[in-house]
Amino acid sequence: MADFGFKLSKSSTLDLDRTDTRVYDILCKTDPDIRTCMACGSCSASCTAAPFCGMSMRKVILALQRGQDVRPMLGKCMLCGKCTMVCPRGINTRHLILSICKYYD
């Protein structure tokens, strides 16, 4: 392909009418604190698994709300608990991770 000095990216528009939020809905029941996340990113900054797979709890929660795939990120979480310790909203992210691992299909 000719080099035009710029490239075209795929559209990242989300059609919220068509997103599959089933997992998120289940989690709102099993781990209601998921709804208090303010996307501050403290969890991502402290994550042990981040260097290996770009793990970030903030992104995982966003992706679940948007019905996107979270498998690759969760696949390297070590359950070390640092994200829970730093979360300013006191979200039990470890329990959340285990719930996602359980209910994701």
End-to-end CA separation in angstroms for the chain = 39
Which residue, among 21, 14, 15, 16, has the nearest Cα to 103 in the 3D structure?
Answer: 21
Query: Min. distance of Cβ 85 from ligand SF4 in angstroms?
Result: 9
41, 52, 54, 68: which one contacts other proteins (CB under 8 A)? 52
Partner touching 95 among ligand SF4, other proteins, none, CB below 5 to 8 Å by kind: other proteins
What is the pattern of x (binds ligand SF4, CB under 6 A) and - over residues 40-79?
A: xxxx--xxxx-----x-xx------------------xxx
Nearer to ligand SF4, 5 or 51 (CB): 51
Does 85 contact ligand SF4 by CB under 6 A?
no
The Cβ of residue 86 has, within 10 Å, a number of other Cβ atoms equal to 15
Distances (CA, A) of 89 to 16, 35, 53: 26, 10, 25
